[in-house]
């Protein structure tokens, strides 16, 4: 489980440059990546790209590509004959056509093991803020409505309530550990989990949604999880419940969510991720007072930024320098 998502061998054509090209990271330089890759004799360069059509020209004869948000599709991969590795800054690889890379024998590496504590604690912070109506209470104070706390609605005690976790991998499992002492009961649904944390009770998804006072999502975005929380499943949630998403925006049908909030199933949503980032200025979520938003920052800390950059460069360089066909683990 070292962050190599796909790898079946080397690319075709002439010997490529031992260079990793960074095309769209939000970091100010590539100094961390250069230091990490240097131990493998691999260089790192930043080449600015503003659209996917420019990726192939930026890669040139380099052997590696590091990408954060830009989509790397099959056509782009085919247009880069010297590529032997694609690295993605983050946990998921949903913006890389992994199947197309595999057909070319290109390794796809990511960093599934960074920022675990950060994302888990951010999920808990969003949950508690929504639970205690912190943002709404702040508005009361600022609007001169100090004594109108009853307008916030009923607030249950955590110790008498149930938390539901959809996905208990690294992050969901960590959240289970830190949140379990606060809740009466923690339910979990994860058909792919090799083991469950001792503090959770495994249940079916419909049972989890109908039984939990708060539901937190911790699954990757795949064809099976795209809009996992749709209109039907929102209807299974308890009246007055809270939905938290720190994973991928497309896990939730946000149009259905806005409609569901009007019927109190759930009553609040706390979202760090959205289907479109940043959201359009007319996105209904921005006008909904019962939605708490943060800008895809659950992973963010001084420590996690360095770990993300260092681990990705190390893994990409290692995959690049491995003998053809010798690297490869499924995350």
By annotation, the residues acting in catalysis are: 248, 277, 296
| C-alpha triplet 32, 35, 37: angle, nearest 5° | 105
Write out the H or E segment, with its range, that includes residue 103: helix 98-103
Q: What is the dihedral of CA 216, 218, 219, 225, to 10 degrees?
A: 20
Cα–Cα distance list, 266 to 61, 111, 177, 212 (Å): 51, 32, 24, 11
Rg of the chain (C-alpha set):
22
Q: What share of the chain is helix, strand, coil (3-state, %, to 5)?
A: 35, 15, 45
Please tell me the distance from the alpha carbon of residue 56 to that of residue 214, in angstroms, as a whole number: 45
Count of helix runs (H) and strand runs (E) in the chain: 11, 13
């Amino acid at each position: 489980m070292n962050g190599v998502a796909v790898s079946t061998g080397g690319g075709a054509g002439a010997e490529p440059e031992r260079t990793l090209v960074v095309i769209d990271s939000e970091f100010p330089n590539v100094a961390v990546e250069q230091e990490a890759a240097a131990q493998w004799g691999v260089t790192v360069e930043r080449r600015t790209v503003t659209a996917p059509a420019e990726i192939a020209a930026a890669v040139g004869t380099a052997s590696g590509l590091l990408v954060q948000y830009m989509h790397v599709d099959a056509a782009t991969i085919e247009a880069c004959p010297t590529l032997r590795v694609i690295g993605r800054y983050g946990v998921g690889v949903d913006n890389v056509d992994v199947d197309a890379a595999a057909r070319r024998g290109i390794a796809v590496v990511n960093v599934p093991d960074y920022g675990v504590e950060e994302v888990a604690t951010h999920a808990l912070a969003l949950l508690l803020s929504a639970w205690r109506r912190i943002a709404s209470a702040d508005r009361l104070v600022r609007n001169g409505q100090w004594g109108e706390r009853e307008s916030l609605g009923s607030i249950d005690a955590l110790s008498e309530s149930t938390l539901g976790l959809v996905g208990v991998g690294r992050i969901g499992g960590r959240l289970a550990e830190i949140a379990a002492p606060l809740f009466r009961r923690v339910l979990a649904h994860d058909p792919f989990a090799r083991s469950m944390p001792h503090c959770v009770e495994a249940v079916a998804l419909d049972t989890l949604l109908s039984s939990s006072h708060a539901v937190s999502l911790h699954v990757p975005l795949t064809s099976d999880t795209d809009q996992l929380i749709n209109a039907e499943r929102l209807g299974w949630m308890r009246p007055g419940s809270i939905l938290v998403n720190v994973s991928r925006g497309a896990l939730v049908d946000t149009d259905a969510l806005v409609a569901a909030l009007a019927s109190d199933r759930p009553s609040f949503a706390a979202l760090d991720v959205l289907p479109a980032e940043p959201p359009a200025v007319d996105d209904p979520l921005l006008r909904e007072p019962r939605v708490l938003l943060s800008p895809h920052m659950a992973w963010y800390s001084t420590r996690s930024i360095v770990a993300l950059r260092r681990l990705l460069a190390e893994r990409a360089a290692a995959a690049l320098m491995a003998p053809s066909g010798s690297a490869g683990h499924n995350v």
